Amino acid sequence: QVQLQESGPGLVKPSQTLSLTCTVSGGSISSGSYYWSWIRQPAGKGLEWIGRIYTSGSTNYNPSLKSRVTISVDTSKNQFSLKLTSVTAADTAVYYCARDACSGGSCYWGHYFDYWGQGTLVTVSS
């Protein structure tokens, strides 16, 4: 059973960089044709996909965040990470990491998130 766990600071100052790491257990991050995604959810609001990475290093980002986001992977540690620069109060949210599977066996039809971490609250405040 694949498990994901987010870690990182729970408080970040405005204009600084938010950094989170997701540790994958129960399987190798490199096995299978999976991407690895970050998703966030402001309190009382809906889900927003931030971006994803393949173990080759290939990335896709939400256009609304692309200029501020970097997702990287460390296969030796079975981890992938998120960096979000120039944060503001609007970036306060619960951040989830998730395994990202191609739908119908082909990414042509899109993708979905079959395993999720428990989430970590990041508050942007001075």
Partner 1 sequence: QSVLTQPPSVSGAPGQRVTISCTGSSSNIGAGYHVHWYQQLPGTAPKLLIYANSNRPSGVPDRFSGSKSATSASLAIAGLQAEDEADYYCQSYDSSLSGGIFGGGTKLTVL
Q: What residues make contact with partner 1 under the rule CB under 8 A?
A: 37, 46-49, 51-52, 60-63, 96, 101, 103-104, 109-114, 116-119
Tokens of 67: 């200029």
User: Which CB atom, from 16 or from 42, has the smaller least distance to partner 1?
Assistant: 42
- Per DSSP, 76 falls in state T
Question: What is the C-alpha to C-alpha distance for residues 80 and 5, in angstroms, rounded to an integer?
Answer: 11
Name residue, tokens 């931030």. 50
- Per DSSP, 103 falls in state G
Q: How far is the CB of 15 from partner 1 (least distance, A)?
A: 26
> Do 94 and 47 contact (CB within 8 A), yes or no?
no
Q: How far is the CB of 77 from partner 1 (least distance, A)?
A: 22
Q: How far is the CB of 93 from partner 1 (least distance, A)?
A: 13
User: Which CB atom, from 47 or from 89, has the smaller least distance to partner 1?
Assistant: 47
Question: What is the C-alpha to C-alpha distance for residues 110 and 28, in angstroms, rounded to an integer?
Answer: 23
Q: How far is the CB of 42 from partner 1 (least distance, A)?
A: 12
